[in-house]
Amino acid sequence: MAPPALAFPKGFGWGAATSAYQLEGAVNEDGRGPSVWDVFSHQPGRIRNGDTGDVAADHYHRYVEDLDIMKDLGLTSYRFSISWPRVLPTGRGTVNTKGVDFYHKLVDGLLERGIAPVVTLFHWDTPQALQELGGWENRDCAKWFADYAHTMFTALGDKVPTWLTLNEPKTVVDVGYTAGVHAPGKQDRSLANVVGHHLLLGHGLAVQALRAANGKGRIGAALSLSPTYPADSSPAASAAATTADAEENRRWLDPLLRGKYPQDWLDSQAADAPVRAAIKDGDLAVIGAHNDLLGVNYYGPTHVTGSGGRVMQHPTSQATWQEIYPDGLFDLLTRIKRDYGDIPVTITENGMATENALQDQDRITFLHDHLAAAHRSIQAGVKLESYHLWSLMDNFEWAEGYTQRWGIIHVDYASQRRTHKASADWYKTVIARNGV
């Protein structure tokens, strides 16, 4: 096999990512309780074509086949999420042993195949029983989340090397509580910002819980980050890009990695904004306690006009919100190093949606170009240790249902047959050569 043009460091982690509600199905089996996504997806008009995650890719039943697919690809890392209501059907209290057993089997199956588990604790599926108590609007939810995290650390702590607390709190705030397009479907920006603070507090309390459980794994969060650029050379666009950067990036990075909210973001909140009262003394010390690593989800950049509007300057994908710009990944990773220091970084998600095709040359180009940018960032000194493409296989893409296909493995939802796309064969070679 010819050596790659761009060789990655020895031991670089080659991975793929999924999440529980998008992949597992089996929503009423073995004692699982409902989450906000079960309720939301069954509300008429919420999801394209009325799709739900009831069956999804049926991973709960087919996980052994899926583990074998990962092994065949040569993955050395696999990022998945635990369904909170599968292990705690009402979100707290009695543990559902059968739910915990499923994750034991999954983790054991990964370890037997030489694949390192990267476990996300919250990929948006808040237990419905907790939602009825206010969910993340309720400050107590941070504590409930930490208790759930503690349960998982106790169960799996000796086998899991890497934990991620939250997946993309920004998306919950912007899409679940502002646009109302994701569960729980609210449209209230001031409430959304309170939710954002409670999510961060939940992260901090979960980090404390891992340390208290003497967990030996490392822990961090997976943030959706987007480098922001002025759309033109005007001073107004430049100022607007700084404001957008606060919303997109700094309001999440600064609390986690510096223990404070950015002053410009705080100043932009109204004097009577509920988030001001939600931030209590001591919270930021909890939120800003040491993280072992940072998970970066990168899908594209943000270009901002002088009036604060967003414009696209590069091609899109089947997901029309996506702007394809590989150099943005380099800019983002080097910026993290410059502004936040040498924290180990893992790319927890990166990928594109394509039409239903097995010959996905566009995805191969996308992955190649982003890996080249990742490689360049390593040359520039970024402590990038692994890469997880989104996604291992086609799955339930939230409000878009099954229309958008993000996998390198094709899923025929009628038969649940899995088939390699061209990108899967390509990625297998990348892994075997340790580079592109």
User: Which residues contribute to the site for ligand FCB (CB under 6 A)?
Assistant: 19, 22, 167-168, 171, 224, 297, 349, 390, 397-398, 406
One-letter amino acid for residue 26 of the chain: A
Structure tokens at 18: 């999924």
Residue 106: which H helix or E strand, with range? helix 97-112
Q: Residue 290: count other Cβ atoms within 10 Å of its Cβ.
A: 11
Q: Supply the minimum distance, in Å, between the C-beta of residue 42 and ligand FCB.
A: 19
Rounded alpha-carbon distances, angstroms, from residue 69 to 23, 265, 433: 15, 44, 18
The pair phi, psi for residue 107, each rounded to 5°, is: -65, -45
Q: Which is closer to ligand FCB, CB of 96 or CB of 226? A: 226
User: Least CB distance from residue 275 to ligand FCB, whole Å?
Assistant: 23
Min separation Cβ 147 and ligand FCB, Å: 24
* Strands 409-412 vs 417-420: parallel, antiparallel or unpaired: antiparallel
CA 281 to CA 122: how far, in whole Å?
A: 25
Which of 224, 169, 200 has the alpha carbon at shortest distance from 291?
Answer: 200
Q: Which residues contact 295 (CB under 8 A, 6 or more apart)?
A: 164, 220, 221, 222, 223, 345, 346, 347, 348
Q: Is 212 exposed, middle or buried (0-12, 13-18, 19+ CB in 10 A)?
A: exposed
H or E stretch including 208?
helix 189-212
CB of 120 to ligand FCB, least distance (A): 9
Nearer to ligand FCB, 283 or 323 (CB): 323
Supply the minimum distance, in Å, between the C-beta of residue 398 and ligand FCB: 6
With contact defined as beta carbons under 8 Å apart, do 327 and 285 qualify?
no
Q: Shortest distance, CB of residue 195 to ligand FCB, whole angstroms?
A: 17
* Residue (289 or 312) nearer to ligand FCB, CB: 312
Give 249 or 297: the residue with its C-beta nearer to ligand FCB: 297
Query: Using CA atoms, how far apart are residues 170 and 262, in angstroms rounded to an integer?
Result: 15
> Is 247 an annotated catalytic residue?
no
Q: Per the residue annotation, which of 137, 247, 323, 349 is the catalytic one?
A: 349
Q: Which two tokens stand for residue 205?
A: 């309390």
Least distance (Å) between residue 134 CB and ligand FCB: 24
Active-site pick, 24, 168, 248, 400: 168
168 is catalytic: yes
Q: Which of 348, 358, 349 is nearest to 405 (CA)?
A: 358
| Nearest CA-CA partner of 150 in 106, 200, 88 | 88
Minimum distance of ligand FCB from residue 349's CB (angstroms) = 6
How many Å apart are CA 79 and CA 85, to the nearest integer? 19
Whether the CB-CB separation of 145 and 206 falls below 8 Å is answered with: yes
* Helix ranges (DSSP H) in 293-360: 327-340
Residue in 351, 366, 383 with CA at minimum distance from that of residue 436: 366
Q: Which is nearer to ligand FCB, 133 or 319 (CB)?
A: 319
User: Do 157 and 111 form a contact (C-beta atoms < 8 A)?
Assistant: no
The catalytic residue positions are 168, 349
